[in-house]
Structure 1
Amino acid sequence: MAYQSLRLEYLQIPPQLELITPFQLYFNPELIFKHFQIWRLITNFLFFGPVGFNFLFNMIFLYRYCRMLEEGSFRGRTADFVFMFLFGGFLMTIFGLFVSLVFLGQAFTIMLVYVWSRRNPYVRMNFFGLLNFQAPFLPWVLMGFSLLLGNSIIVDLLGIAVGHIYYFLEDVFPIQPGGIRILKTPSILKAIFDTPDEDPNYNPLPEERPGGFAWGEGQRLGG
């Protein structure tokens, strides 16, 4: 039941309780490659700033869309879900070398939102009761909202770019004439994460029913 998203939530606790500092977590290529502080490749995704509106906003969206992907299009495909995490994190790390970002957690959240939105193109969304739009526009609406809050949109653009690359390689290119499946989940991940038995009577929460919060609530067209 949304185990991956819950784990991501719990990983936020140490920085917020000041058990460790952001200076021990941020992405720094020199410290990583010259001083072998390899943990920074992972910890830079786990910090969303001090507790406040931006922090809560990111936590809510990270949990919601991670859960809906896990229970929707990745239902019974935990290894593929983990591979998406690894693939997205790898690309963000590479791109992060060129855009001087020190924390990539928000970009990772936007990537999840982008993948979900493209896989549910007919869901209608409502943002704070002010805007009505279809799901594929959600990442762009969030980027505009981030801009209104005075934040840099580079991190949002990075998340959108990586999300689009994953979506194109996974969902679009393989079904094109002459297309092939480029992204293949390694067998070791399938052996570790995938379970052989699946309950045929299980009825998962529809991925296209976000609900729960007014700024992301959606419904199917005609519903």
Structure 2
Amino acid sequence: MGDLTSWFKSLPIFTRHWLGLTIFFSLLGRFAFLSFKQLALMYEPVVHGFQIWRPFTSVFYYPLTPSTGFHFLINCYFLYSYSLRLETGQFGNYPADYFFLLVFNWMCCVIIGLIAELPLLMDPMVMSVLYIWCQFNKDVIVSFWFGSRFKAMYLPWVLLAFNMIILGGGVMELIGILVGHLYFFLMHTYPQEMGGPRLLSTPSIL
């Protein structure tokens, strides 16, 4: 436990809190201290009931069952791995910029979630961060299951195809890709590569 605590405390602040809150709320749901109906993103309770915690808990909570446990662990691994790489790599000296990235992606996921009636946002939020890391590191070789290796720029699309074929999903991954692409386009592609004005920037208060 001492080694585990030391490892957890060694994580950078945003990755540590994101991972910790995800495990915390998911375990609260698993042991019935809180329920899906109390934590999920739902239009009526948020807009008319002013239950403002739901946009936050819908990102951190994931229902743990025998059929979803493995997917949850994979999500936690991607969260830890790619959030850590971004926070200590591209944003290593710019914590405010990384915090704004998380806030922007979260707000986009919440808006889409309310419109599309998506109760849980862990999948698209994690995928959006993974997509941004892949855009910053397009030519880095990554490994996937069964020993397959390819450039990082293809990883989000491989995960999308995998979930569509194996799990019959893919919508949440596609939303995450779109949210991540929107951030990367507004912050980097349009102003730096296309010569356009900067349409998105980190608020000075951060």
TM superposition score category, shorter chain reference: 0.7 to 0.9
Matches of 2:135 and 2:194 in 1, distance apart? 21
Q: Which runs of 5+ in 2 are unaligned?
A: 1-10
Which has the higher mean CA deviation after the structures are superposed, 130-139 or 146-155?
A: 146-155
Establish whether residue 33 from structure 1 lines up as the match of residue 50 from structure 2. Answer: no
| Contact kept? 1:58, 1:109, Cα under 8 Å | yes
Aligned match for 1:157, one of 174, 178, 184: 174
Normalized per residue, the structure richer in helix is 2
Matches of 1:151 and 1:46 in 2, distance apart? 23
Establish whether residue 15 from structure 1 lines up as the match of residue 32 from structure 2. Answer: no
> 2:161 is matched with which residue?
144
**Is the partner of 2:60 in helix, strand or coil?**
coil
Q: Where do residues 70-219 of structure 1 align in structure 2 (5 Å cutoff)?
A: 70-176=87-193, 178-189=195-206
Which AA in structure 2 matches 1:131? S
Matches of 1:136 and 1:15 in 2, distance apart? 30
Alpha-carbon offset, residue 187 of structure 1 = 1.5
Higher RCO, Cα 8 Å, sep 6+: 1
Alpha-carbon offset, residue 178 of structure 1 = 4.4
> 1:45 is matched with which residue?
59
Q: Which runs of 5+ in 1 are unaligned?
A: 190-223
TM-score, normalized by length of structure 1?
0.80
Matches of 2:194 and 2:91 in 1, distance apart? 25
Q: Relative to 1, partners in 2 of residues 1:46 and 1:151: Cα closer, same or farther, differing over 3 Å? A: farther
TM-score, normalized by length of structure 2?
0.86
Q: Relative to 1, partners in 2 of residues 1:59 and 1:177: Cα closer, same or farther, differing over 3 Å? A: closer
Q: Number of residues paired by the alignment?
A: 189
Matches of 1:137 and 1:49 in 2, distance apart? 29
Q: Relative to 1, partners in 2 of residues 1:151 and 1:4: Cα closer, same or farther, differing over 3 Å? A: farther
Give me the identity figure in percent: 34
Cα-Cα RMSD: 1.5
Matches of 1:116 and 1:130 in 2, distance apart? 21
> 1:212 is matched with which residue?
none
**Is the partner of 1:44 in helix, strand or coil?**
helix
